[in-house]
Amino acid sequence: MHCASDRDRPTLIWLQGVTCNGNTHSFLNLPYLPQLLAKYDLLYHPLLPASSTLSEVVQCKRPCDVLVFEGAYDPLMKRHEVLLSELLDYYGMRAGHIIGVGSCASFGGMFKASAPQRNSGLIFDESESSGPLLALKNKVINLSGCPVHPEWLGYTLSMIADNKEIKVDTLHRPLELYSHLVHHGCTRNEYFEWKVDAKAFGLKEGCLFYLQGCRAPMTHASCNRILWNDVSSKTRSGTPCFGCTEPDFPRNDLFHTKTNMSIPEDVPLGVPKRSYLTITGIAKAFHIERLEGKLIDDKTAD
């Protein structure tokens, strides 16, 4: 995919559907945001300085090389008295690239859950192909996440500005960002291997998969390879991965691992349940004292 424009800089329009603005606020944390935006002619963004107003954009007379859409699609929603469907039709047809930022634009997300019969993503309704831009799906790049990682959007916009190809998976997410699991790079992996549980929320020690509802072994995202704010991730800070980049997000009871007869309902992606149970049984037979204590024990530090 390449930009259709022959201008010096590609034009970019950022529209919103049903949204909490979380992806916009995440994007504002991108360390090199000014340098990235300098590569674009930003025509409209709801918060950032741009050359056009919303009232001008809804007249559907502006050029558009890159259309960014944030939030779930609601067919009844209007922007400045113009239906979203009309705006998406006009600018979607003209854009060389369409980016769905966040899980709501990708699959429906949180706002799909609030109006399940009406709201959807741009080309997916959860995991089913459906949405207002399905006919233009070859242009669509989904950046799922609640919110999207600012570096993922920075990577995608940089690649487009440099006319580089972005390979995507079956859900139209960039392979470079979503081919790994959140489990990859998790600092708790040794606890996972030896089946040592985190007994409470927020602890530095223990694996969050068995008791705290962690979805890292089943979730495609690079959160533990590209850290948030260059510092941390949910699992590193003691919070379970909620699986927010997958089409079935949000699920109920996010801080609890669903089990059947003490066996996790979902096991690591691609691992047969019988094999998983065998390995778990063997690992639990060992007693690794080093992994069962506190990393920093105040009682013995003196």
* Whether pLDDT at 50 is above 50: yes
Give the tens place of pLDDT for each residue, 168-196.
Answer: 999 999 999 999 999 999 999 999 999 99
* Whether pLDDT at 1 is above 60: no
* Whether pLDDT at 125 is above 90: yes
What's this model's pTM, rounded to 2 decimal places? 0.93
State the pLDDT confidence band at 205, using cuts at 50, 70 and 90: very high
Average pLDDT value for residue range 6-22: 92
Give the tens place of pLDDT for each residue, 74-100.
Answer: 999 999 999 999 999 999 999 999 999
State the pLDDT confidence band at 7, using cuts at 50, 70 and 90: low
| Neighbouring C-alpha atoms within 13 Å toward the C-beta of 255 | 8
Average pLDDT value for residue range 254-280: 91
Strand 82-83 and strand 66-70: the pairing is unpaired
Query: What does the alpha-carbon distance between residue 278 and residue 300 come to, in Å, rounded to a whole number?
Result: 37
Q: What is the pLDDT of residue 6?
A: 47
| DSSP type of residue 259 | E
Task: Cite the DSSP H helix spans in 80-230.
Answer: 84-94, 102-107, 109-114, 150-161, 175-178, 189-193
Nearest CA-CA partner of 114 in 16, 250, 256, 215: 250
Nearest CA-CA partner of 247 in 166, 116, 128: 128
280 membership: H or E segment, kind and range: helix 273-284
Mean pLDDT estimate for the chain: 94
State the pLDDT confidence band at 302, using cuts at 50, 70 and 90: low
120 DSSP β-pair partners: 73
CA torsion 271-178-122-214 (nearest 10°) is 50
- Percentage above 70 pLDDT, the chain: 96
Which amino acid is it at 150? P
Give the lowest-confidence range in 46-60, 71-85, 120-134, 198-212: 198-212
